[in-house]
Amino acid sequence: MTTRFAGRVVVVTGAADGIGYGIAAGFLQAGALVHALDINAAGLESAQRRIGAPNERFRTQVVDVSRPEEVTRGTQQILRESPQVDVLVNNAGINMFKRLNELEPGHWDRVMDTNLKSIYMMCKAFWPGFIQQRSGVIINISSIMGQAGGVGAPAYCSSKAGIIMLSRCLAKDGAGYGIRVNSICPGYIDTPIMERQYAEQPDPVAARKQVLDKQPLGRIGTPRDIANGALFLASDEASFISGTELTIDGAVTATQID
Ligand SMILES: NC(=O)c1ccc[n+]([C@@H]2O[C@H](COP(=O)([O-])OP(=O)(O)OC[C@H]3O[C@@H](n4cnc5c(N)ncnc54)[C@H](O)[C@@H]3O)[C@@H](O)[C@H]2O)c1
Protein backbone atom coordinates (compact mmCIF):
# COMPACT_ATOMS: atom_id res chain seq x y z
CA MET A 1 0.00 0.00 0.00
CA THR A 2 1.14 3.57 -0.70
CA THR A 3 -0.03 6.81 0.86
CA ARG A 4 -0.44 8.78 -2.38
CA PHE A 5 -4.19 9.22 -1.77
CA ALA A 6 -4.21 8.91 2.02
CA GLY A 7 -6.97 11.00 3.54
CA ARG A 8 -8.80 11.36 0.20
CA VAL A 9 -12.34 10.17 -0.37
CA VAL A 10 -13.09 8.50 -3.71
CA VAL A 11 -16.49 7.41 -5.06
CA VAL A 12 -16.52 4.71 -7.74
CA THR A 13 -19.69 3.51 -9.51
CA GLY A 14 -19.98 0.01 -10.94
CA ALA A 15 -17.28 -1.04 -8.48
CA ALA A 16 -18.36 -4.64 -7.87
CA ASP A 17 -16.46 -6.05 -10.83
CA GLY A 18 -14.38 -5.37 -13.90
CA ILE A 19 -12.84 -1.95 -14.47
CA GLY A 20 -14.71 -0.33 -11.57
CA TYR A 21 -13.40 -2.94 -9.14
CA GLY A 22 -9.89 -2.40 -10.52
CA ILE A 23 -10.18 1.35 -10.03
CA ALA A 24 -11.57 0.97 -6.50
CA ALA A 25 -8.74 -1.44 -5.62
CA GLY A 26 -6.17 0.94 -7.09
CA PHE A 27 -7.34 3.91 -5.00
CA LEU A 28 -7.62 1.72 -1.92
CA GLN A 29 -4.05 0.51 -2.35
CA ALA A 30 -3.01 4.15 -2.70
CA GLY A 31 -4.47 4.91 0.73
CA ALA A 32 -7.89 6.40 -0.13
CA LEU A 33 -11.23 5.77 1.52
CA VAL A 34 -13.42 4.32 -1.24
CA HIS A 35 -17.20 4.42 -1.53
CA ALA A 36 -18.09 1.59 -3.91
CA LEU A 37 -21.53 1.73 -5.54
CA ASP A 38 -23.08 -0.98 -7.67
CA ILE A 39 -26.48 -2.34 -8.63
CA ASN A 40 -25.27 -5.88 -7.87
CA ALA A 41 -25.54 -6.61 -4.13
CA ALA A 42 -23.92 -10.06 -4.30
CA GLY A 43 -21.15 -8.62 -6.47
CA LEU A 44 -20.41 -5.93 -3.88
CA GLU A 45 -20.25 -8.54 -1.12
CA SER A 46 -17.80 -10.60 -3.11
CA ALA A 47 -15.78 -7.44 -3.93
CA GLN A 48 -15.63 -6.66 -0.22
CA ARG A 49 -14.24 -10.15 0.45
CA ARG A 50 -11.83 -10.06 -2.51
CA ILE A 51 -10.45 -6.63 -1.75
CA GLY A 52 -9.53 -7.57 1.82
CA ALA A 53 -9.68 -3.99 3.10
CA PRO A 54 -11.21 -2.94 6.40
CA ASN A 55 -14.87 -1.97 6.05
CA GLU A 56 -14.21 1.61 7.12
CA ARG A 57 -11.98 2.20 4.06
CA PHE A 58 -14.12 0.27 1.53
CA ARG A 59 -17.76 1.21 1.98
CA THR A 60 -20.26 -0.47 -0.27
CA GLN A 61 -23.76 0.60 -1.18
CA VAL A 62 -26.29 -0.95 -3.54
CA VAL A 63 -27.37 1.83 -5.89
CA ASP A 64 -28.84 1.73 -9.38
CA VAL A 65 -27.19 4.84 -10.82
CA SER A 66 -29.70 5.02 -13.68
CA ARG A 67 -32.50 5.94 -11.25
CA PRO A 68 -32.74 9.51 -9.94
CA GLU A 69 -34.20 8.55 -6.55
CA GLU A 70 -31.47 5.95 -5.97
CA VAL A 71 -28.74 8.41 -6.90
CA THR A 72 -30.19 10.91 -4.43
CA ARG A 73 -30.38 8.30 -1.67
CA GLY A 74 -26.91 6.88 -2.37
CA THR A 75 -25.08 10.19 -2.67
CA GLN A 76 -26.77 11.62 0.44
CA GLN A 77 -25.65 8.55 2.38
CA ILE A 78 -22.06 9.06 1.14
CA LEU A 79 -22.11 12.74 2.12
CA ARG A 80 -23.40 11.86 5.60
CA GLU A 81 -20.45 9.47 6.04
CA SER A 82 -17.85 11.57 4.18
CA PRO A 83 -18.78 15.27 4.03
CA GLN A 84 -15.84 15.98 1.69
CA VAL A 85 -15.60 13.86 -1.45
CA ASP A 86 -12.39 14.43 -3.44
CA VAL A 87 -12.70 12.16 -6.49
CA LEU A 88 -15.74 10.84 -8.36
CA VAL A 89 -15.22 8.04 -10.87
CA ASN A 90 -18.32 7.38 -12.98
CA ASN A 91 -17.63 3.92 -14.35
CA ALA A 92 -20.95 2.02 -14.26
CA GLY A 93 -22.12 1.16 -17.73
CA ILE A 94 -23.80 -1.44 -19.89
CA ASN A 95 -23.06 -2.52 -23.40
CA MET A 96 -25.73 -3.14 -25.99
CA PHE A 97 -25.12 -4.59 -29.40
CA LYS A 98 -28.34 -3.90 -31.29
CA ARG A 99 -28.53 -2.52 -34.78
CA LEU A 100 -31.07 0.22 -35.50
CA ASN A 101 -33.78 -2.15 -36.79
CA GLU A 102 -33.82 -4.11 -33.50
CA LEU A 103 -33.12 -1.15 -31.20
CA GLU A 104 -36.40 -0.28 -29.43
CA PRO A 105 -36.99 2.97 -27.50
CA GLY A 106 -36.77 1.00 -24.23
CA HIS A 107 -33.28 -0.26 -25.16
CA TRP A 108 -32.17 3.24 -26.11
CA ASP A 109 -33.45 4.68 -22.81
CA ARG A 110 -31.80 1.93 -20.76
CA VAL A 111 -28.40 2.53 -22.31
CA MET A 112 -28.66 6.31 -22.10
CA ASP A 113 -29.97 6.28 -18.52
CA THR A 114 -27.29 3.86 -17.31
CA ASN A 115 -24.31 5.21 -19.21
CA LEU A 116 -24.96 8.95 -19.59
CA LYS A 117 -27.85 10.25 -17.47
CA SER A 118 -26.29 8.54 -14.44
CA ILE A 119 -23.13 10.59 -14.89
CA TYR A 120 -25.06 13.85 -15.14
CA MET A 121 -26.95 12.90 -11.94
CA MET A 122 -23.86 11.78 -9.99
CA CYS A 123 -21.92 14.92 -10.98
CA LYS A 124 -24.88 17.14 -10.04
CA ALA A 125 -25.11 15.50 -6.61
CA PHE A 126 -21.46 16.20 -5.71
CA TRP A 127 -21.10 19.51 -7.59
CA PRO A 128 -22.23 21.83 -4.75
CA GLY A 129 -19.68 20.22 -2.43
CA PHE A 130 -16.92 20.56 -5.03
CA ILE A 131 -17.80 24.23 -5.51
CA GLN A 132 -17.83 24.89 -1.79
CA GLN A 133 -14.49 23.18 -1.18
CA ARG A 134 -13.07 24.68 -4.42
CA SER A 135 -11.67 21.33 -5.51
CA GLY A 136 -12.82 18.04 -6.94
CA VAL A 137 -11.83 15.58 -9.65
CA ILE A 138 -14.33 13.81 -11.89
CA ILE A 139 -13.27 10.92 -14.12
CA ASN A 140 -15.86 9.52 -16.49
CA ILE A 141 -15.36 6.17 -18.19
CA SER A 142 -16.22 6.51 -21.87
CA SER A 143 -14.84 4.16 -24.54
CA ILE A 144 -12.91 4.14 -27.80
CA MET A 145 -16.38 3.39 -29.22
CA GLY A 146 -17.39 6.90 -28.11
CA GLN A 147 -14.48 8.32 -30.10
CA ALA A 148 -14.28 6.13 -33.18
CA GLY A 149 -17.75 4.58 -33.21
CA GLY A 150 -18.33 0.89 -33.71
CA VAL A 151 -20.42 -1.57 -35.68
CA GLY A 152 -23.85 -2.63 -34.41
CA ALA A 153 -23.98 -0.54 -31.24
CA PRO A 154 -25.40 2.91 -32.10
CA ALA A 155 -26.95 3.50 -28.66
CA TYR A 156 -23.82 2.45 -26.76
CA CYS A 157 -21.50 4.51 -28.98
CA SER A 158 -23.78 7.57 -28.75
CA SER A 159 -23.91 7.31 -24.96
CA LYS A 160 -20.12 7.05 -24.78
CA ALA A 161 -19.67 10.04 -27.15
CA GLY A 162 -22.10 11.95 -24.92
CA ILE A 163 -19.90 11.23 -21.90
CA ILE A 164 -16.94 12.86 -23.65
CA MET A 165 -18.93 16.02 -24.41
CA LEU A 166 -20.53 16.18 -20.95
CA SER A 167 -17.05 15.89 -19.42
CA ARG A 168 -15.67 18.69 -21.58
CA CYS A 169 -18.59 21.00 -20.74
CA LEU A 170 -18.32 20.32 -17.01
CA ALA A 171 -14.56 20.89 -17.19
CA LYS A 172 -15.21 24.43 -18.46
CA ASP A 173 -18.03 25.05 -15.96
CA GLY A 174 -15.96 23.80 -13.03
CA ALA A 175 -12.57 25.26 -13.92
CA GLY A 176 -13.11 28.49 -11.99
CA TYR A 177 -13.81 26.46 -8.86
CA GLY A 178 -10.76 24.20 -9.07
CA ILE A 179 -12.81 21.27 -10.38
CA ARG A 180 -11.20 19.06 -13.03
CA VAL A 181 -13.19 16.74 -15.30
CA ASN A 182 -11.78 14.22 -17.79
CA SER A 183 -12.83 11.06 -19.59
CA ILE A 184 -10.97 7.82 -19.98
CA CYS A 185 -11.56 5.89 -23.20
CA PRO A 186 -10.62 2.25 -22.70
CA GLY A 187 -10.00 -0.09 -25.59
CA TYR A 188 -10.52 -3.84 -25.17
CA ILE A 189 -10.23 -4.71 -21.48
CA ASP A 190 -10.60 -8.19 -20.00
CA THR A 191 -13.71 -7.94 -17.77
CA PRO A 192 -17.04 -9.75 -17.32
CA ILE A 193 -18.66 -7.44 -19.93
CA MET A 194 -16.21 -8.85 -22.50
CA GLU A 195 -16.65 -12.43 -21.24
CA ARG A 196 -20.40 -12.07 -21.81
CA GLN A 197 -19.75 -10.70 -25.29
CA TYR A 198 -17.49 -13.65 -26.19
CA ALA A 199 -20.02 -16.11 -24.71
CA GLU A 200 -22.72 -14.79 -27.05
CA GLN A 201 -20.60 -15.73 -30.09
CA PRO A 202 -20.85 -19.21 -31.68
CA ASP A 203 -17.17 -19.83 -30.77
CA PRO A 204 -16.22 -17.82 -27.64
CA VAL A 205 -12.56 -18.91 -27.74
CA ALA A 206 -12.21 -17.81 -31.35
CA ALA A 207 -14.00 -14.53 -30.51
CA ARG A 208 -11.45 -13.74 -27.80
CA LYS A 209 -8.58 -14.69 -30.12
CA GLN A 210 -9.97 -12.31 -32.74
CA VAL A 211 -9.81 -9.46 -30.20
CA LEU A 212 -6.32 -10.50 -29.12
CA ASP A 213 -5.11 -10.56 -32.72
CA LYS A 214 -6.19 -6.91 -33.08
CA GLN A 215 -3.92 -5.76 -30.23
CA PRO A 216 -0.77 -3.93 -31.41
CA LEU A 217 0.86 -4.48 -27.99
CA GLY A 218 0.08 -8.19 -28.14
CA ARG A 219 -2.22 -8.34 -25.15
CA ILE A 220 -5.74 -7.33 -24.10
CA GLY A 221 -5.95 -4.57 -21.46
CA THR A 222 -6.62 -5.19 -17.78
CA PRO A 223 -8.68 -3.23 -15.24
CA ARG A 224 -5.36 -2.26 -13.64
CA ASP A 225 -4.33 -0.49 -16.88
CA ILE A 226 -7.43 1.71 -16.57
CA ALA A 227 -6.95 2.16 -12.82
CA ASN A 228 -3.42 3.45 -13.45
CA GLY A 229 -4.85 6.11 -15.78
CA ALA A 230 -7.52 7.08 -13.24
CA LEU A 231 -4.94 7.36 -10.45
CA PHE A 232 -2.84 9.65 -12.62
CA LEU A 233 -5.79 11.86 -13.62
CA ALA A 234 -6.86 12.15 -9.99
CA SER A 235 -3.35 13.00 -8.79
CA ASP A 236 -1.73 16.37 -8.27
CA GLU A 237 0.61 15.56 -11.19
CA ALA A 238 -2.46 16.03 -13.43
CA SER A 239 -3.42 19.40 -11.94
CA PHE A 240 -3.33 21.11 -15.38
CA ILE A 241 -5.23 18.33 -17.15
CA SER A 242 -8.94 18.96 -17.57
CA GLY A 243 -11.53 18.72 -20.33
CA THR A 244 -9.77 16.01 -22.26
CA GLU A 245 -9.78 12.28 -22.98
CA LEU A 246 -7.17 9.74 -21.99
CA THR A 247 -7.33 6.86 -24.45
CA ILE A 248 -5.98 3.63 -22.95
CA ASP A 249 -6.21 1.10 -25.75
CA GLY A 250 -2.71 -0.23 -26.43
CA ALA A 251 -2.66 1.71 -29.74
CA VAL A 252 -5.75 -0.03 -31.19
CA THR A 253 -7.17 3.27 -32.48
CA ALA A 254 -3.87 5.07 -33.09
CA THR A 255 -4.19 4.72 -36.85
CA GLN A 256 -6.57 3.17 -39.35
CA ILE A 257 -3.70 2.06 -41.55
CA ASP A 258 -2.04 -1.23 -40.58
N1 LIG B 1 -14.36 -3.91 -20.84
C2 LIG B 1 -14.13 -3.17 -21.90
O3 LIG B 1 -13.48 -3.63 -22.86
C4 LIG B 1 -14.57 -1.72 -21.94
C5 LIG B 1 -14.13 -0.93 -23.00
C6 LIG B 1 -14.50 0.41 -23.06
C7 LIG B 1 -15.31 0.94 -22.08
N8 LIG B 1 -15.74 0.16 -21.06
C9 LIG B 1 -16.60 0.79 -20.05
O10 LIG B 1 -16.03 0.59 -18.77
C11 LIG B 1 -17.07 0.55 -17.80
C12 LIG B 1 -16.93 -0.72 -16.98
O13 LIG B 1 -17.02 -1.81 -17.86
P14 LIG B 1 -16.62 -3.30 -17.46
O15 LIG B 1 -16.03 -3.91 -18.66
O16 LIG B 1 -15.88 -3.31 -16.19
O17 LIG B 1 -18.12 -3.90 -17.28
P18 LIG B 1 -18.66 -4.97 -16.23
O19 LIG B 1 -20.00 -5.39 -16.74
O20 LIG B 1 -17.63 -6.00 -16.03
O21 LIG B 1 -18.82 -4.09 -14.92
C22 LIG B 1 -19.77 -3.05 -14.87
C23 LIG B 1 -20.23 -2.88 -13.45
O24 LIG B 1 -21.22 -1.84 -13.45
C25 LIG B 1 -22.33 -2.31 -12.69
N26 LIG B 1 -23.56 -1.65 -13.15
C27 LIG B 1 -24.24 -1.86 -14.30
N28 LIG B 1 -25.35 -1.12 -14.34
C29 LIG B 1 -25.38 -0.42 -13.18
C30 LIG B 1 -26.30 0.51 -12.62
N31 LIG B 1 -27.42 0.87 -13.26
N32 LIG B 1 -26.03 1.04 -11.40
C33 LIG B 1 -24.91 0.69 -10.73
N34 LIG B 1 -24.01 -0.20 -11.20
C35 LIG B 1 -24.25 -0.75 -12.41
C36 LIG B 1 -22.37 -3.81 -12.91
O37 LIG B 1 -23.11 -4.49 -11.92
C38 LIG B 1 -20.89 -4.15 -12.90
O39 LIG B 1 -20.41 -4.43 -11.60
C40 LIG B 1 -18.39 0.62 -18.56
O41 LIG B 1 -18.85 1.96 -18.56
C42 LIG B 1 -17.99 0.20 -19.96
O43 LIG B 1 -18.84 0.73 -20.94
C44 LIG B 1 -15.40 -1.17 -20.96
Q: Whose CA is nearest to atom 13 of ligand 1?
A: 19
How many A from CA of 95 to the centre of ligand 1? 8
The DSSP-derived string for 204-232 is HHHHHHHHHHT-TTSS-B-HHHHHHHHHH
Please check whether residue 140 lies inside any domain of the structure: yes
Cβ of 158 closer than 6 Å to ligand 1, yes or no, is no
The residues with which 182 forms a beta bridge, in sequence order, are 139
Please check whether residue 111 lies inside any domain of the structure: yes
- 221 close to 247: Cβ distance less than 8 angstroms: no
Residue 52: per-residue pLDDT: 87
Residue 247: per-residue pLDDT: 98
The 8 Å CB, 24+ separation contacts for 151-154 are 152/97, 152/98, 152/99, 153/95, 153/96, 153/97, 153/98, 154/99, 154/100, 154/103
In whole angstroms, give the CA distance from residue 123 to residue 182. 12
Amino acid at 128: P
Q: Whose CA is nearest to atom 2 of ligand 1?
A: 189
- Give the pairing of strands 33-38 and 9-13: parallel
How many A from CA of 158 to the centre of ligand 1? 16
Number of domains in the chain: 1
Residue 256: per-residue pLDDT: 84
Q: Which domain holds residue 63?
A: 9-191+222-248
Q: Whose CA is nearest to atom 7 of ligand 1?
A: 143
Cβ of 14 closer than 6 Å to ligand 1, yes or no, is yes
Please check whether residue 201 lies inside any domain of the structure: no
Alpha-carbon Rg for the chain in angstroms: 18
Cβ of 225 closer than 6 Å to ligand 1, yes or no, is no
In whole angstroms, give the CA distance from residue 94 to residue 18. 12
In whole angstroms, give the CA distance from residue 226 to residue 219. 14
Residue 257: per-residue pLDDT: 79
Cβ of 189 closer than 6 Å to ligand 1, yes or no, is yes
As annotated, the active-site residues are: 156
Please check whether residue 258 lies inside any domain of the structure: no
Please check whether residue 95 lies inside any domain of the structure: yes
Residue 42: per-residue pLDDT: 98
Nearest-5° Cα angle at 199, 226 to 119: 40
In whole angstroms, give the CA distance from residue 235 to residue 253. 26
Cβ of 150 closer than 6 Å to ligand 1, yes or no, is no
Nearest-5° Cα angle at 57, 56 to 62: 80
Please check whether residue 196 lies inside any domain of the structure: no
How many A from CA of 18 to the centre of ligand 1? 7
In whole angstroms, give the CA distance from residue 126 to residue 143. 23
Please check whether residue 4 lies inside any domain of the structure: no
Residue 4: per-residue pLDDT: 95
Greatest Cα pair distance in the chain: 53
How many A from CA of 50 to the centre of ligand 1? 18
CATH at residue 80: 3.40.50.720
How many A from CA of 82 to the centre of ligand 1? 25
Cβ of 174 closer than 6 Å to ligand 1, yes or no, is no
Please check whether residue 150 lies inside any domain of the structure: yes
pLDDT in tens, the chain (258 residues): 789 999 999 999 999 999 999 999 999 999 999 999 999 999 999 999 999 877 789 999 999 999 999 999 999 999 999 999 999 999 999 999 999 999 999 999 999 999 999 999 999 999 999 999 999 999 999 999 999 999 999 999 999 999 999 999 999 999 999 999 999 999 999 999 889 989 999 999 999 999 999 999 999 999 999 999 999 999 999 999 999 999 999 999 999 877
Cβ of 91 closer than 6 Å to ligand 1, yes or no, is yes
